[in-house]
Amino acid sequence: MDICVAGLGLIGGSICMALKRAGQHVWGWNRSEKITDYALRSGVIDGFARDFVSFDVVFVALPPEATIEFINSHTFKDGSIVADICGVKGWIEEEIYKIPRNFRYVGCHPMAGKEVSTIYNASADLFDNASMIITYSGETDDRAVKVIAELTKKMGFARIVECTSDTHDKKIAYTSQLAHIVSNAYVKNSELDGCIGFTGGSFQDMTRIAGVDESVWSSLYLKNAENLTEDISSLISSLDEIRRAIAGGNREELENVLREGRRLFESRREERTLWGDITVTDLK
């Protein structure tokens, strides 16, 4: 199987390295020759792709707009599989199916990453024990999904989660995008100055992702705006409830508010419930 990864950043580079660890030959493409040269010299890829008509599978590891621009401006092998790894799926899916395609599209989202970017931080084990989300619609080819699932297992993922793009975007707004926004907002406090010696694990957890690239994440937020703004409003409401309980000085009221949060968290943690159209396949 001839595989190419377009976009040799943290995720794209790690896909290459994980596939090569599994014995696959992988070609790469990147807009920056400096990055491509590094990938070749360091063995991240086996060669540089100048076109895409000979590849059976092309992973597109680029931001949303760049993903669609790349796909629309290149020619792919008839019947090949083109899989994007963007953090929003509804917008990508809509753009893909606006015109007829000679390839089979599969929407993917690897649930792994780091607070740092670029291929220099890529690693072969980035996806070990992580989840790969694969989205589907009425246009999705089951055989193409099977191929991506096989490659997913080879890359070290522990499970595949399948759902529609709508479900993906709702869940990701809460589990990923909102977390990044909270971290960004949390550090906009004057008490951030002079924190040396006052921080522990909770501070590190809250601030670890505050410094991610705003040009990448703002695009993801805007393309999932409806879901994300609902989650922000819900969070503001919950914070205000806690604020009012603290300001009121009523310990019983405060304990009740906090207890409800703990109860909800513990009940969800103990359950392995699936929501809506979600299916989970364990790979290990």
The model's confidence at residue 274, banded by pLDDT at 50, 70 and 90, is: low
Residue boundaries of the structural domains of the chain: 3-164, 169-270
Q: What is the 3-state secondary structure (H, E, C) of 34-99?
A: HHHHHHHHCCCCCEECCCECCCCEEEECCCHHHHHHHHHCCCECCCCEEEECCCCCHHHHHHHCCC
CATH 1.10.3660.10 given to domain 169-270: yes
The 10s digit of each residue's pLDDT in 220-244 is: 999 999 999 999 999 999 999 999 9
The 10s digit of each residue's pLDDT in 140-189 is: 999 999 999 999 999 999 999 999 999 999 999 999 999 999 999 999 99
Q: How many angstroms separate the first and last alpha carbons of the chain?
A: 23
pLDDT recorded at residue 235: 98
CA 233 and chain centroid, separation: 23
Please tell me the CATH code under which domain 3-164 is placed.
3.40.50.720
pLDDT at 8 over 70: yes
Burial class (CB in 10 A: 0-12, 13-18, 19+), 180: middle
- Residues 172 and 88: their CA atoms lie apart, in Å, by 8
CA 59 and chain centroid, separation: 14
Task: Write the DSSP assignment of 99-120 as a string of letters.
Answer: S--SSEEEEEEEE---SS-SGG
Strand partners, 279: 162
Alpha carbon distances (Å) from 223 to 107, 213, 238: 15, 16, 25
pLDDT recorded at residue 84: 98
Say what percent of the chain tops pLDDT 70.
98
The 10s digit of each residue's pLDDT in 96-150 is: 999 999 999 999 999 998 888 899 999 999 999 999 999 999 999 999 999 999 9
Between 117 and 95, where is the model more confident? Answer: 95
